[in-house]
Structure 1
Amino acid sequence: MWKKFLSRLGISAAKVDLVLHRSHVRLGETLEGEFLLEGGSVAQHIRNLDVVLQLEVQAEGKAYRKTAAVIPVASSFTIQPSERKVLPFSYTLPHHLPISRPTVRYTFVTRLDIAAGVDAYDQDAIHILPPTALDQVFSALAALGFREKPASGSITPYGQEFSFFPTGEFQGIVQEVEFFALVEGEGVRLYMEIDVRHGFGGEREMKRELLITHEQLRDSAAAARLLREAIEEAVQAAGAFGQLSGHPLATPHSPIYSHPVGHYSPVHHSHHGGHGWAGAIGGFAAGMLAGMVAEELLDDAVDDVADGLDVDDWFDGGDGFDGGDWL
């Protein structure tokens, strides 16, 4: 009787531990592991065993959590005193999730729902890597001397935004390169904002759209060349070409567009910057959130930051990611 009473308080009760085969996984890949269950001092009925993939976003100095997925594992079974069970775990990461960055983190929260007792929990952090095509874009930028900023990967009303600063040939000419990325069947489409130094202490924001095919991405030199051409053309269009003395300018092979991204209808625009992303992408959730019901997460984040809510106010335990894959 005493043991049963203690088990209902969570003392000497059943435990669960999720052991992952690896903690880093790329979007679209399958993550595997095992659940290690250990019985307590008395037999206990388990109503459910499930896992929640929890997304945490840092914004405006606050943390916001949202359920990215609920993964049911098992239901309605009994674990005997001191019994040990091993159950397999397998989960394929959807293509539409934001990737891990300093401001974007993921945790698997395992819950053992114990009837007439205190539930048992386990937490395991995972790191979601970018799809290979986006990784190749990052590598091409690195080959040009660009380094990712600490705040890169932040969630915005238009998707996940990446930001890089120059350390090589463009240092002193380009202030920053920011972009949203959309992986398509043909390749990766970048919606870029290139901040070009202009005048004494000023800068001009140049908007560019660039499609790099998968074939070009597999050739690291070709991908770097396309990015260099787009950046050089933006510098020239900003009126800063005089700063590139001794630096070969090339004519870009990719079209320069400004249009609502969701329409995918290329329309040439003037090379002058100054318009905001709202005009450039028309409210479409580009970036790593494209193809999913991104508005719920992004609108909630923007509204909650404005209202000053904290983590507990925002976390509702629901599944906010019920859209389809976007590749």
Structure 2
Amino acid sequence: MWKKFLSKLGIGAAKVDLVLHRPHVRLGETLEGEFLLEGGSVAQQIRKLDVLLQLEVQAEGKVYRRTAAVIPVASSFTIQPGERKVLPFSYTLPLHLPISRPTVRYTFVTHLDIADGADAYDQDAIHILPPMALEQVFSVLSALGFREKATSGSITPHGQEFAFFPAGEFQGVVQEVEFFALVEEEGVRLYMEIDVRHGFGGEREMKRELFISNEQLRDPAASARLLKEAIDEAVHAAGSFAQPSGHSWATPHSPIYGHPAGHYPSIHHSHHGGHGWAGAIGGFAAGMLAGMVAEELLDDVVDDIADGLDVDDWFDGGDGFDGGDLL
């Protein structure tokens, strides 16, 4: 009787430990491991065993957490005193979650739901790697002398935004290169914004869409040439046209830059027809890295926009990122 009472308080109760075969996994790949369950001092009824994939995002000096996925494992079983159970674990990462970065972290939280007792928990940090195509883009940028900024990988209404600064031949000419990545079956599409230094302390934002095929990505020289041509062309355009600062330049005759700036996704700060606004952004974001996250956030904030809350304020740390699960 005394042991049963203590088990209700968590003393001498069943325990669970998730052991992952590896602490990192690439988007789209399967992460495997096993659960080690150990019975306590008395028999206990387990309602369920599941795992929560917790997403943690740092923004504007704050930390926000969401449940990105709930993974059911087992339900309704009894574990005897001192009994040891081993259950397999397998989970395939969705293709469009944000990848791990200094401001984006993940944790598996294992939950053993014990009937009439204190539940047992276990936490395991995991690192989500980019799809191979995107990792190759990162490598090419590094070969061109670019370094990833500490703030790269931030979550925006369009998806996850990556930012690089030049440390090689473009230093002093380019301020930074930012882009969203859409990983497609045939390659990766980059929606780029290249900030080119202009005049005395000024800069011009040049927007380009660049598609790099899987075949080109397998040839580092070919993919480096494409990226360098995109940046060179943006630098040339910024210096060759007398256009007010802040305008984007299009080169419709180039096979690489086939879409003018007007085709890029933009946030419309309208307080009328909020659902149409969210649908436009969500339709773009759904295929991007972190698109699922961004789309869910947009769904949550539609009412706030209709009430007059500025979307930039909301995404810069307002109440919209503070409550409820993503999925």
Cross-structure match for 2:200: 200
Cross-structure match for 1:5: 5
Contact 2:193–2:206 at 8 Å: present in 1 too?
Answer: yes
Contact 1:60–1:305 at 8 Å: present in 2 too?
Answer: no
Specify the SS of the correspondent of 1:150.
coil
Contact 2:15–2:40 at 8 Å: present in 1 too?
Answer: yes
Q: Extract unaligned runs of 5+ from structure 1.
A: 242-250, 263-276, 322-327
Provide the aligned length of Structure 1 versus Structure 2.
291
Shift of 1:260: 3.6
Shifted more, 302-311 versus 203-212: the winner is 302-311
Cross-structure match for 1:222: 222
* Per-residue CA distance 1:5-57 (angstroms, 9 max, x = gap): 00000111000000000011001111010100011111100000000111111
Q: Extract unaligned runs of 5+ from structure 2.
A: 242-252, 269-279, 302-310
Shift of 1:170: 0.3
1:298-309 paired onto structure 2 within 5 Å: 300=300, 308-309=318-319
Contact 2:60–2:317 at 8 Å: present in 1 too?
Answer: no
Specify the SS of the correspondent of 1:177.
strand
TM-score, length-scaled by structure 2: 0.83
Cross-structure match for 1:64: 64
Answering whether residue 170 of structure 2 is matched by residue 170 of structure 1, we say yes
Give the Cα–Cα distance (whole angstroms) in 2 for the partners of residues 137 and 293 of structure 1. Answer: 23
Contact 1:51–1:70 at 8 Å: present in 2 too?
Answer: yes
TM-score, length-scaled by structure 1: 0.83
Cross-structure match for 2:257: 255
Shift of 1:294: 3.5
Higher relative contact order (CA 8 A, sep 6+): 1
- AA partner of residue 156 (structure 1): T
* Per-residue CA distance 1:169-210 (angstroms, 9 max, x = gap): 100000000000101122111110000000111111101111
Give the Cα–Cα distance (whole angstroms) in 1 for the partners of residues 157 and 315 of structure 2. Answer: 12
Cross-structure match for 1:73: 73
**TM-aligned CA distance change 1:6 to 1:289, over 3 Å:** same
- AA partner of residue 150 (structure 2): P
Give the Cα–Cα distance (whole angstroms) in 2 for the partners of residues 288 and 307 of structure 1. Answer: 20
Specify the SS of the correspondent of 1:237.
helix
* Per-residue CA distance 1:62-89 (angstroms, 9 max, x = gap): 1111111111101111111111111110
1:121-132 paired onto structure 2 within 5 Å: 121-132=121-132
**TM-aligned CA distance change 1:25 to 1:78, over 3 Å:** same
- AA partner of residue 224 (structure 1): A
* Cα RMSD, aligned residues only: 2.3
**TM-aligned CA distance change 1:14 to 1:94, over 3 Å:** same
1:155-194 paired onto structure 2 within 5 Å: 155-194=155-194
- AA partner of residue 62 (structure 1): K
Shift of 1:255: 2.1
Give the Cα–Cα distance (whole angstroms) in 1 for the partners of residues 320 and 9 of structure 2. Answer: 29
Specify the SS of the correspondent of 1:69.
strand
Identity of aligned residues (%): 77
